[in-house]
Amino acid sequence: MNLQYEFPEGFWWGSATSATQIEGAAKEEGKGQNIWDYWYSIEPNRFFNNIGPETTSDFYHQYKKDIKLMRKIGHNSFRFSISWSRLIPGGRGKVNSKAVAFYNNVIDQLLENNIEPFVNLFHFDMPLELQNEGGWENREVVEAYAVYARECFRLFGDRVKKWFTFNEPIVPVEGGYLYDFHYPNVVDFKRAVQVAYHTILAHVKAVESFRHFHIKNGKIGIILNLTPSYSRSQNPADLEAANITDLFFNRSFLDPVVLGNYPKELVHILQKYGILPITQKEDFELIKNNTIDFLGVNYYQPRRVKAKENLPNPYGVFMPEWFFDNYEMPGRKMNPYRGWEIYEKGIYDIMINLKKNYRNIESFVSENGLGVESEEKFLKDGYIQDDYRIEFIKEHLKWLYKAIEEGCNVKGYHLWTFMDNWSWTNAYKNRYGLIAIDLNTKKRTPKKSAYWFKDVATYNGF
């Protein structure tokens, strides 16, 4: 096969998922409630078409079949998350043996099919009891997370070698404490900063305990949604707006996890506006000494900004938007369903930045994908002909390839997602999967992109 884009040997091809989005069985076999189960029970109308986390692809019962299908479409790796409230109902205390059996089975099944498990410990799904204690605002919850992480390393570390502490830790900060799209629906910049800080603390505590386990060939990292910040122009005020958004939305997590410290400029801003988090002296040693081995990069869209133009503050209160305005670049390419800009070169810019400024840390694309509404309209000859998704992936892969050619330390590409799944408040609005699902019968049908992806994975390029 003559390939124009041939990826390095051993490249990881696969897809990513999360427990709440695929498992279902939300009330089965001892699982406790998490904030999604609870929020849906009190405000179902906040969810698209009133569909909650119980309605999923039912991976909890169908994982065997699904893993076989993964193998069929060329996966050599697969990311899933452990549900904290399933493994340790209530977040603290006794481990649920049924949950241990389930995750053991999933891991074993993956390995039998030559698919490497990539395991993430937290994907937006705080156990309800711990949220009632204040969630990430409460330092004691950080300790509970550290115990949970340790349990996972102990239970599964003999077979799982690729570990992640968090997926997109900034999203619960934004959703739960700034922009009202996650429970507990608080809007408060100062509290948001505390939540972000405690998440970093939880992360480094997990990394520290991981090191004590000496898991053979084991690696630990985190998954960040990096949104490159582009300024409207080269004017100093526009450039400053881009710098501030980079500090708030990327570097607030990227610097401590990869470099072991917070950017001075960010600390200075937080101090100036009286929103520094409460910290303890010893935290900074922990952060410094527990940097990650590798990084997952989720990339969907860039951020475009301009200097503040004295427009009315859309939120009416002190917010990150105090410092910049969003900017809609004329002619930009959009995903009309999700309202996100498509800018393939962003993936290259991220990787080059990691190479230059972040010790060329080993990384991979841990999520990238295209959500499409009413995808049934592309059904032809019995399956969805999603050429638009193939195009989307291909264009991103071309930029990724260029980054690798230029020396970036990129090891793989995981698509969001394996099968159409339930997605937070959007529920089943946008479909991202390689495999379509009929929610009534739970029948799985590969889309055209699944066959294409199989070839790419099999030939290690296209």
Q: Which residues would be at the binding site for ligand BG6 (CB under 6 A)?
A: 18, 21, 167-168, 225, 298, 338, 367, 371, 416, 423-424, 426, 430
Residues ≥6 apart with Cβ < 8 Å to 190? 274, 275
- Strand (E) or helix (H) holding 177: helix 170-177
In the complex, what is the shortest distance from the CB of residue 337 to ligand BG6, in angstroms, rounded to a whole number?
9
DSSP E strands in 323-437: the ranges are 325-326, 334-335, 340-341, 362-367, 372-373, 379-380, 383-384, 410-415, 430-431, 435-437
Q: Is 367 a catalytic residue?
A: yes
Q: What are phi and psi of 259, to 5 degrees?
A: -100, -15
Helix residue ranges, H only, 29-158: 35-42, 59-72, 84-87, 97-112, 128-132, 139-156
CB nearer ligand BG6, residue 75 or residue 338: 338
- Strand (E) or helix (H) holding 253: helix 252-254
CB nearer ligand BG6, residue 155 or residue 223: 223
Instruction: Indicate the DSSP class of residue 358.
Output: S
Which residue, chain included where needed, has tokens 């041939």? 6
In the complex, what is the shortest distance from the CB of residue 369 to ligand BG6, in angstroms, rounded to a whole number?
7
Q: How long is the chain?
A: 462
In the complex, what is the shortest distance from the CB of residue 190 to ligand BG6, in angstroms, rounded to a whole number?
25
For residue 254 the two structure tokens come to: 């990227």
User: Is there a contact between 15 and 75 (Cβ–Cβ < 8 Å)?
Assistant: yes
In the complex, what is the shortest distance from the CB of residue 364 to ligand BG6, in angstroms, rounded to a whole number?
15
For residue 426 the two structure tokens come to: 């959007």
Distance between CA atoms of residues 433 and 275, nearest Å: 40
CB nearer ligand BG6, residue 198 or residue 414: 414
What burial letters (b/e) apply to 351-381, b meaning 16+ CB within 10 Å?
Answer: bbbbbeebeebbbbbbbbbbbbeebeebeee
Distance between CA atoms of residues 57 and 443, nearest Å: 9
User: Is there a contact between 163 and 210 (Cβ–Cβ < 8 Å)?
Assistant: yes
How many CB atoms are located within 10 Å of the residue 281 CB? Answer: 6
In the complex, what is the shortest distance from the CB of residue 214 to ligand BG6, in angstroms, rounded to a whole number?
30
In the complex, what is the shortest distance from the CB of residue 415 to ligand BG6, in angstroms, rounded to a whole number?
11
CB nearer ligand BG6, residue 122 or residue 401: 122
CB nearer ligand BG6, residue 48 or residue 213: 48
CB nearer ligand BG6, residue 416 or residue 452: 416
- Among 168, 321, 367, 375, the active-site one is 367
Give how far the C-alpha of residue 124 lies from the chain's centroid of Cα atoms, to the nearest Å: 9
In the complex, what is the shortest distance from the CB of residue 250 to ligand BG6, in angstroms, rounded to a whole number?
14
DSSP E strands in 93-244: the ranges are 116-120, 162-167, 219-225, 229-231
In the complex, what is the shortest distance from the CB of residue 338 to ligand BG6, in angstroms, rounded to a whole number?
5
User: Which of helix, strand or coil describes residue 296?
Assistant: strand
| Omega within 30 of 0 (cis) for the link into 184 | yes
DSSP E strands in 226-282: the ranges are 229-231
CB nearer ligand BG6, residue 339 or residue 382: 339
CB nearer ligand BG6, residue 96 or residue 430: 430
CB nearer ligand BG6, residue 298 or residue 460: 298
In the complex, what is the shortest distance from the CB of residue 336 to ligand BG6, in angstroms, rounded to a whole number?
13
Indicate which residues carry an active-site annotation. Answer: 367
